[in-house]
Amino acid sequence: MIGLLKTRSFRFWIGLYAVLALLPIAVSAIAGFVLLNQSVIVPFENVAEQQRYHAGPTQQLSILMKDTLAPVDEFASGANPTGPLTYRRLREQIEAEFAILEPHFHIETGARDLLQRAREDWIAADRSATELISLSPSAMEKDAGRLMRQFHGHIAAASDKLSAVYRLISVAISADHDKAVLYYERSIWIMGIAGAASFITTLSGIFLVGRIMTRSVNRLVDGAERFAQGERDYRIEIQVPPELRRVAEEFNRMIGRIKMSETALADLAVRDSLTRLLNRRAFENALTETFDRVQRLGETTALLALDIDHFKSINDTYGHAAGDVVLQEIGVVLGKNLRSFDRPFRVGGEEFSVLLPGTTIATARETAERLRKAIENHQFRYGTDRIDVTVSLGVATTNTEMDRTSLVEAADSALYEAKLNGRNRVEVSIGAGRKGDKVA
């Protein structure tokens, strides 16, 4: 059996044992449906129908007939002049109940005959009551007693017959109920036996298939543990069954994709989501690397601090969406006008920084001027609106007496001077070289 299992696919054996496990349930479901429908559901429906259309209306009729006694008696004794109105209202209800009951009355013949006789007794009682409440005052003393006795007698006879009808209905309801409960219990037994058979079949299938699958699954688990421990270059090797071999191959591909995703996420962590430029975190790291090179190699690096002029008025005039477009376009302009190894950053809302490795103060100033002109001449558009955008820049370079903080402060100080001197200009840090002139 084990040898045969190894030669067939995992899918085949899983399918075979699934069929064997589900077969008893399927057979019991079909048999149970037939049994429940014919021997449980139908009797319960009969119980509900008889309760709704037979037992309930029969009880209601009996109650309504007895309720007619009081208004007729009180009228005859002179205690209730409105008794005839109450009686007529009850009579309408009784007639309505008979109209509901008779079309649905399909139980055995004896009950139908009793109902018909109760109907005849009610008609006789109604005739006596109608005659009684129609008597003139002079005839009331003579005929009232006789009519009252007739009325009470007919109501009592009708009530007795309705009670007998109700008892017959109760017997039929009880029989249907007992039959339904009996077959329901049998269906439960059938489902229980089928469930046990399915459970045993399933366990045997799991045991037999599991023996041949354990080794391959253990390899998958071992591979997953190695992956969880950070071994991104580990690959799982499985030959049988073919399904698990494909799982292992996909797992290996997933490890490769995750490795790529982790690299991409690491990049996203240092990228500004709007402009796709490097963000402030990347700027801080770059400053640390820059001063490491300054100390080890004596390399000179320039820092440009760039700020958009009157950016708040752009947001106020055209909306924040337009401001976002301006920021994105400035990122594009910076990319087009810098060297491949220059690194632009978005360090704040409308603030940008650019690190220029191996750049003197003169070259840095020329680069800043080129960026200023490129942004001033760029066509910024939002919808049909053309937005005029200018920037101010501050330039500073490293020297042996500077640290990262003083370099940033020097560039910010030059940027502040550019703002004070009218914006849309480049200023060079005093400690780093001569200030630049305003360019029209």
> Quick check: pTM over 0.85?
no
**pLDDT of 437 higher than 50:** no
Is 355 contained in some domain?
yes
- Domain final residue pick, 200, 229, 252: 200
Same domain as 303, residue 194: no
Domain CATH number, residue 339? 3.30.70.270
- Domain final residue pick, 169, 200, 231: 200
Is 234 contained in some domain?
no
pLDDT at position 361: 93
Same domain as 302, residue 174: no
Mean pLDDT of 277-293: 91
Residue 42's domain spans which residues?
Answer: 7-200
pLDDT at position 337: 95
Report angle CA 21, 27, 31 to the nearest 5 degrees.
Answer: 150
Is 270 contained in some domain?
no
Same domain as 299, residue 194: no
Q: Contacts for 58-64 with beta carbons within 8 Å, 24 or more apart? A: 58/101, 58/115, 58/162, 58/165, 58/166, 58/169, 59/166, 60/97, 61/94, 61/97, 61/98, 61/101, 61/118, 61/162, 62/159, 62/162, 62/163, 62/166, 64/90, 64/93, 64/94, 64/97
pLDDT at position 294: 81
pLDDT at position 283: 95
Same domain as 294, residue 173: no
Is 340 contained in some domain?
yes
Higher pLDDT, 83 or 217: 83
- How many structural domains is the chain composed of? 2
Phi, psi of 427 (to 5 degrees): -125, 145
**pLDDT of 144 higher than 70:** yes
Partner residues linked to 306 by β-bridges: 352, 393
What would the pLDDT profile of 38-75 be if each residue is shown by its tens digit? 666 777 776 777 777 677 778 888 898 888 888 888 88
Is 438 contained in some domain?
no
Instruction: For 177-202, give the DSSP string.
Output: HHHHHHHHHHHHHHHHHHHHHHHHHH
On whether the CB atoms of residues 310 and 325 are closer than 8 A, the answer is no
What would the pLDDT profile of 331-381 be if each residue is shown by its tens digit? 999 999 999 999 999 999 999 999 999 999 999 999 999 999 999 999 999
- Domain final residue pick, 173, 200, 227: 200
Q: Which of 286, 271, 281, 287 is nearest to 409 (CA)?
A: 287
User: How many Å separate Cα 265 from the centre of its chain?
Assistant: 28
Average pLDDT, the chain: 81
Same domain as 194, residue 70: yes
Instruction: For 84-149, give the DSSP string.
Output: HHHHHHHHHHHHHHHHHHGGG--S-HHHHHHHHHHHHHHHHHHHHHHHHHT--HHHHHHHHHHHHH
Same domain as 145, residue 28: yes
Same domain as 190, residue 44: yes
d(CA 305, CA 351): 7
Same domain as 287, residue 190: no
**pLDDT of 261 higher than 70:** no
**pLDDT of 310 higher than 90:** yes
Same domain as 155, residue 13: yes
Same domain as 422, residue 288: yes
Least confident of 74-78, 375-379, 383-387, 391-395: 74-78
